[in-house]
Amino acid sequence: MLSFMRDNRILNSVKKRDVLLANSPLPTRAKAEIDNLNLPQSYINQIKQYQVGIYPRELKEQELEALQAKKENIIGELVNTCLNDTNSENLDRLIQALKQDDDYKSKLVLIPLLISDGRYNKAQQQIQKLEQRLNELSPDVQTEVENFIELQNLNITLAQTPDSLKNSVIIANTAYLTALAADEDALGSVDAALLLQEAGVKKYYERIALPDENSAKLISPVGNSNANTMTDIQSGFINIYPNPVKDKLYIEILASEEVCDGVIELYSMEGKLIKQFELNEQDCVKTIDITNFATGEYMINVSCNGENIFTKKITIIK
């Protein structure tokens, strides 16, 4: 479409206008070129009037992205359920379904699942199949998947290494793990950081974004719900750590005034309430045992006097 719009050799302005009208609304990039068309201004204005809505192909792409996100959420829920289910048949069915799914992203779920269940040979087989598909992926995705594969091979090695030797294996891979841990958006970044921390190579702390004056709604000190200045915001806030978490989650309330009675709620990413905890005045640091919860992402919600004052996504790992 862009080539057609930029081709000034098309001398019949009426036909060019009609083609653009017939394909309207145009793709996003094409819309930006309308004003540069070598057409009478009246035609340009007419084309602009037809740009309400979304180009059909872009709309389909958005729908596909939404379906993919929904699929990934469902798979995540199934993984959490099966890992906590005493019936191994459900886990076997999920593994079989992931094997049959041709989407490479399903393999990114399947391989760690096989490793966590001790099926190391099966995991290696799936890694080999994923390696065979690397050339199908874009260069950026290919690099990310290669790092993921290297990490999973390391996890298989560690799972079969005596505890007394695990740290030496991690230390031998320090350079790779450090680079992976430094890229917070990369697949396996959190796992790499935890391995380095457990081996005593380096400590990693969750990065906390400080509030700024342009934030739409920030936490004010407890007892002063109407406070909205920077001084008020900085004098009291809530910190949740570690994240990701393996066994105990700490909710620290730093405030210049007394802490109110409230509740802490743990939700699934689908909005289902998983567990509720009381928050008392004396709880400057609330400790929550999460060892019985399934791996995955959750939302922590802190409420005070019936008002939500803090929400954060956490990741539970095993």
Provide CATH code, domain 230-316: 2.60.40.3760
**Residue-wise pLDDT tens digits, 61-102:** 777 777 777 777 777 777 777 767 677 788 888 888 888 888
CA distance 151 to 257: 46
- Gap between the Cα atoms of 237 and 255, Å rounded: 6
What are the C-alpha distances in Å from 223 to residues 61, 136, 149, 240? Answer: 47, 57, 50, 20
Token duo for residue 254: 């730093």
pLDDT of residue 213: 40
Euclidean distance between CA atoms 57 and 28, whole angstroms: 11
Q: Which amino acid is at 157?
A: T
Strands 307-316 and 236-241: unpaired
Tokens of 302: 């802190």
Sequence letter at residue 169 = V
Positive or negative, the Cα torsion across 263, 266, 267, 273?
A: negative
Q: Show pLDDT as tens, one digit a residue, over the chain (318 residues).
A: 778 888 777 668 888 888 888 888 888 888 888 888 888 898 888 888 888 777 777 777 777 777 777 777 777 777 777 767 677 788 888 888 888 888 888 898 899 889 988 999 999 999 999 999 999 998 888 999 999 999 999 999 999 999 999 999 999 999 989 988 888 778 888 888 888 888 888 776 555 444 444 333 333 333 333 333 222 323 346 778 887 888 888 887 765 344 456 788 888 877 778 888 887 655 567 888 888 888 888 888 888 777 777 788 888 887
Predicted TM-score (pTM) of this structure:
0.49
Identify the pLDDT of residue 145. Answer: 92
Q: Does domain 57-160 have CATH number 1.25.40?
A: yes
Q: Distance between CA atoms of 298 and 314, rounded to whole angstroms?
A: 5
Place of tokens 């992203």: 105
Nearest to 58, CA basis, from 26, 34, 32? 26
Strand order, beta sheet including 307-316? 273-279, 262-268, 296-304, 307-316
- Chain centroid offset of residue 18 CA: 44
CB 237 within 8 A of CB 231: no
